[in-house]
Amino acid sequence: MILLNDARTRRRHLGVAAAAVGLLAALLTAHPAVATPDPGDGTAARDDVSASARAEVRDAIASGEIPGQDEVVHSANIKHLTNIPKDALPGTNSDLAFQGRYAFAGNYDGFRIFDISNPKAPKTVAQVLCPGSQNDISVSGNLLFLSTDSSRSDSSCNSTTQPATEKSSWEGMKVFDISDKKNPKYVAAVETACGSHTHSLVPERKNVYIYVSSYSPSATYPDCQPPHDGISVIKVPRSHPEKAAVVGFPVLFPGDGPDGGGNPGGPTNPGVSKTTGCHDITVLPSQDLAAGACMGDGILLSIKDPEHPKVIDQVQDNVNFAFWHSATFNQKADKVVFTDELGGGGAATCNAAIGPNRGADGIYDIVGRGDHRKLVFRSYYKIPRHQADTENCVAHNGSLIPVKGKDIMVQAWYQGGVSVWDFTDSSKPKEIGYFERGPLATDGLVVGGSWSAYYYNGYIYSNDIAKGFDVLKLSDRRTDPAARIRVDELNVQTQPDYFGR
């Protein structure tokens, strides 16, 4: 049972002071250039907060309304099994992928491979130094894929940062052979327009297709010119990954203007990001469907022809969504959860000043059939525990927990921690468990917290930006049936069909 009556769930007013100093207005007019602050090869800077906000944090800790600095708290149905601190890769921890007994953890400095055959005591198998912003990660068979979304001097793992205004600069997709997990080998690099912020796999027997999401073009960038209103599609032959190449750039937002036909953003829609590409795409191969979170737009796509995805519906929320960040289908493929990354992942948005509908999840039902399906909004979900103004907190990466007949997912909220929530009734979502740490700092905002929190073969794994790799055990009658479900491989943006059709 979750502890519904503790001070953490009763608190409702933290962050009210922020409105007085203009935080709300600043967030609503922000157009994030990247999904999280890009620290390059260094560490994230500390942002100042007001004296009143610092005092409010100290008072909240003293009264027990929020955990103390770095203190771990959780609901009664979640147990924290272990934490593995960052080691040879000190950069920002990012996304996760899984295969067999291994977990693959992205980091802005490269990636790390864990043996999780004993989830209570994961062991590091390899750490690969290969700097590049994001290093969004996925695996398929003997191949590992890594996104680079910072302009580099070349495609090697010894590259340095270089301005995107220089034609010789490189960013895009890297491919590694992981047949020997202890000794991954870099086998291919594919440059893509505007780099690769994230990517999603559409795996086939002979080939792996990669949908590359990137955005924010500029006339001053030779390899990232506007309009940038689509995605790059890469084809990787499994037997010859060195032949990986871009095979198309499908336009998802056709239009006559200089930026295509996506959301124009401000001043037409104040506080909303202009659509100049997609942030993330989640594919559901069993249904030939994909859902795209594309800055100012949410889209539903048919991927019957994986080289030519086709938009079948497009929606906007110009009241409460600032930046469409990611998407998750439910098991029946009749719902999609979209996230809004208000403030770009580097701001305190889980407080009373921002409220329950911004920086939240939007739950949409999918109605109709075939290419006539539509996305219909039902409700918002946001964690019920307000966070301090020194904690970056907003909706981020999560995955389904496979319970037949139920729609339950686990999700990262940066310093808001990890939330387990039920959206079986898409109009009345509710939290059923949580895990979080107290603020990283009480005198300023330092970016940290859970980047990704995913359910894999009976456990929840979280990659914390600053603190490292966490393993959680969820024990709850509502989710216990999921422990019987096993998959051989999990890239969350390539959703499995857990129960067949």
pLDDT, residue 48, reads: 80
- Cα separation of 286 and 498, whole Å? 10
Residue ranges for the chain with pLDDT beneath 50: 1-12, 18-26, 28-43
Query: Mapping DSSP to helix (H, G, I), strand (E, B) and coil, where does residue 293 land?
Result: strand
Of 463, 381, 429, the closest CA to residue 116 belongs to: 463
- Cα separation of 94 and 105, whole Å? 7
1 assigned to some structural domain: no
- Cα separation of 137 and 255, whole Å? 32
Of 273, 297, 372, 298, the closest CA to residue 35 belongs to: 273
Of 260, 291, 292, the closest CA to residue 274 belongs to: 260
Peptide bond into 227 cis (omega under 30): yes
499 assigned to some structural domain: no
Scan for tokens 């940038």, then name that residue. 228
- Cα separation of 447 and 467, whole Å? 11
Of 227, 221, 218, 280, the closest CA to residue 249 belongs to: 227
- CA distance readout (Å), 118 to 82, 114, 239, 287, 491: 11, 10, 32, 34, 20
495 assigned to some structural domain: no
Give the number of domains in the chain.
1
pLDDT, residue 128, reads: 98
Q: Are 46 and 445 contacting, i.e. CB atoms less than 8 angstroms apart?
A: yes
191 assigned to some structural domain: yes
pLDDT, residue 19, reads: 46
462 assigned to some structural domain: yes
Mean pLDDT, all residues of the chain: 92
User: What range defines the domain where residue 25 resides?
Assistant: 7-490
Torsion on CA atoms 92, 380, 496, 229, rounded to nearest 10: -70
Scan for tokens 């157009």, then name that residue. 31
pLDDT digits over 332-387, tens only? 999 999 999 999 999 999 999 999 999 999 999 999 999 999 999 999 999 999 99
CATH number at residue 86: 2.130.10.10
pLDDT, residue 17, reads: 52
pLDDT, residue 5, reads: 36
333 assigned to some structural domain: yes
pLDDT, residue 1, reads: 34
Three-state SS sequence of 386-454: CCCCCCCECCCEEEEECCCCCCEEEEECECCCEEEEECCCCCCCEEEEEEEECCCCCCCEECCCEEEEE
Helices (H), 134-274: none
Scan for tokens 């272990």, then name that residue. 82
497 assigned to some structural domain: no
429 assigned to some structural domain: yes
Q: What's the N-to-C CA distance of the chain in angstroms?
A: 32
